């Protein structure tokens, strides 16, 4: 019961009455509370005082706890100090608000002082090489001399048209259409590059706002290992089996490229009609071979897939609407055996296409 004062109740005054009304000497005109202390003389709550003191010095946990305890006890006992307890709680709130302001001001300062992504991460030019942390898609790229070990080599830079960011999907679609073709042009003609594949860096909305308007097409090894020197100088001659395969699929591939570049859907339909005998020739060549033992099963699987594509192309060539042509060609692409194509190319030690 610390912090409380107790008076002395005269003997014989507990629930009993003795004759005329009686008041102890010096207490006339006053009444007794249950604790025997006149209301005007109750002590100040020690918890209220503690709450106020800790509130002044920023002792947030103690000032809050003591203030809450003090208000509860004052309400029950009638002690003084309610104003001190409230002042302690108000000071606690002020300290909390100050700390919040300081925290956010510091966080904003750190953000404002953080270094911007290296400009090189989106200003590469063809012929430059770089390293890049592959554990995150947002990793920065560090430029390096191509004569030293590096992860990638930029071989082409394509500009994204327009003044506003077209969206990630549109940018990726543009890169998918440009980089593979540019990659073929940048290599030495007539040589094979089985260990190298094509990828690209593209602007996102945040880098677009900093002036990034280009797609950076680059080579890297399929196994993720470092490269040294320029890719165009690392090619090897095609083997007889590789040349045989490329001669079978070459005419069809050229026709597909022409279809994608057709001026209108009528011209595309005409090219589709021309592709029908080319697909049939490809099927026949895949079946006849001859192929190395490790490539025979893949060649047979691709020939089977091409039969479905052939049916789709025959249907497309007979269409009289653009929408019908597009629908049939979409089916032809799905049935063209991309998985089987890559399996056969890998078996022949050629780079996969998909």
Q: Tokens at residue 68, please?
A: 């809450």
At 136 the pLDDT is 52
CA distances in angstroms from 6 to 41, 73, 76, 125, listed in the order given: 10, 16, 15, 90
Residue entry with tokens 């006890």: 73
The answer to whether the CB of 201 falls within 8 A of the CB of 124 is yes
At 94 the pLDDT is 78
At 40 the pLDDT is 47
- Counted residue by residue, the chain has a size of 354
Q: Which long-range contacts (CB under 8 A, 24 or more apart) does 33-37 make?
A: 33/78, 35/4, 35/5, 35/6, 35/7, 36/6, 36/7, 36/8, 36/9, 37/5, 37/6, 37/7
Output phi, psi for 19, to 5 deg.
65, -145
Residue 78, SS3 per DSSP: coil
Residue entry with tokens 């591939």: 253
Q: What is the DSSP letter of 98?
A: H
- Pairing verdict, β 152-159 and 191-192: unpaired
- Report the C-alpha gap between 50 and 84 in whole angstroms: 9
Residue entry with tokens 């709550």: 45
CA distances in angstroms from 122 to 138, 163, 197, 203, 215, listed in the order given: 12, 17, 20, 8, 8
What residue ranges in the chain does DSSP mark as E strands? 129-132, 141-144, 152-159, 191-192, 196-201, 214-221, 236-237
The answer to whether the CB of 279 falls within 8 A of the CB of 299 is no
Cβ neighbors of 55 (< 8 A, separation 6 or more) are 63, 67, 87, 88, 89, 90, 91, 92, 95
- Report the C-alpha gap between 233 and 222 in whole angstroms: 17
| C-alpha gyration radius of the chain | 42
CA dihedral (334, 340, 341, 347) in degrees, to 10, reads 170
How many helices (H) and strands (E) would you count in the chain? 10, 7
- Pairing verdict, β 129-132 and 152-159: antiparallel
The answer to whether the CB of 42 falls within 8 A of the CB of 48 is no
- Nearest residue to 155 via CA among 147, 165, 164, 146: 146
Sorted by where each begins, the domain ranges of the chain are 42-113, 118-237, 238-354
Residue entry with tokens 């929408």: 323
Residue entry with tokens 């590096």: 150
- Report the C-alpha gap between 66 and 323 in whole angstroms: 77
| Helical pair 60-77 and 46-57, crossing angle rounded to 10 deg | 160
CA dihedral (47, 52, 56, 61) in degrees, to 10, reads 40
Rounded mean pLDDT for each run of 10 residues along the chain, 354 residues in total: 38 39 40 42 72 73 76 79 78 75 61 40 81 59 87 94 93 91 90 91 89 92 92 93 93 90 92 96 94 95 95 95 94 93 93 80
- Report the C-alpha gap between 261 and 179 in whole angstroms: 16
């Amino acid at each position: 019961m610390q912090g409380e004062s107790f008076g002395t109740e005269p003997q014989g005054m507990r629930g009993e009455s003795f004759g005329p009304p009686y008041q102890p000497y010096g207490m006339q005109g006053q009444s007794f509370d249950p604790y025997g202390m006149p209301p005007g003389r109750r002590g100040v709550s020690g918890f209220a005082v503690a709450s106020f003191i800790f509130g002044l010095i920023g002792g947030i946990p103690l000032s809050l706890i003591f203030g809450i305890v003090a208000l509860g006890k004052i309400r029950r006992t009638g002690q003084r100090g309610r104003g001190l307890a409230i002042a302690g709680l108000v000071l606690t709130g002020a300290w909390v608000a100050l700390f919040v302001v300081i925290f956010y001001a510091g966080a904003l300062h750190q953000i404002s002082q953080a270094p911007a992504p290296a400009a090189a991460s989106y200003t590469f030019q063809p012929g430059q090489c770089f390293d890049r942390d592959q554990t995150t898609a947002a990793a920065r790229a560090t430029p390096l001399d191509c004569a030293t070990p590096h992860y990638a080599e930029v071989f082409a830079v394509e500009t994204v048209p327009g003044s506003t960011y077209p969206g990630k999907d549109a940018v990726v679609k543009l890169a998918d259409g440009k980089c593979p073709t540019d990659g073929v042009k940048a290599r030495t003609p007539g040589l094979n590059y089985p260990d190298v594949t094509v990828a690209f860096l593209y602007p996102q909305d945040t880098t677009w706002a900093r002036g990034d308007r280009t797609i950076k097409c680059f080579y890297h090894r399929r196994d993720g290992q470092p490269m040294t020197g320029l890719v165009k100088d690392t090619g090897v001659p095609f083997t007889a089996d590789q040349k045989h395969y490329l001669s079978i699929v070459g005419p069809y591939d050229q026709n597909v490229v022409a279809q994608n570049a057709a001026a209108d859907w009528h011209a595309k339909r005409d090219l589709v009609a021309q592709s029908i005998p080319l697909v049939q020739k490809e099927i026949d060549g895949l079946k006849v071979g001859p192929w190395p033992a490790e490539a025979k099963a893949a060649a047979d699987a691709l020939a089977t897939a091409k039969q479905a594509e052939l049916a789709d192309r025959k249907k497309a060539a007979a269409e009289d609407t653009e929408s019908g042509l597009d629908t049939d060609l979409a089916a032809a692409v799905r049935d063209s055996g991309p998985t089987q194509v890559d399996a056969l190319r890998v078996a022949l030690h050629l780079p996969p296409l998909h």
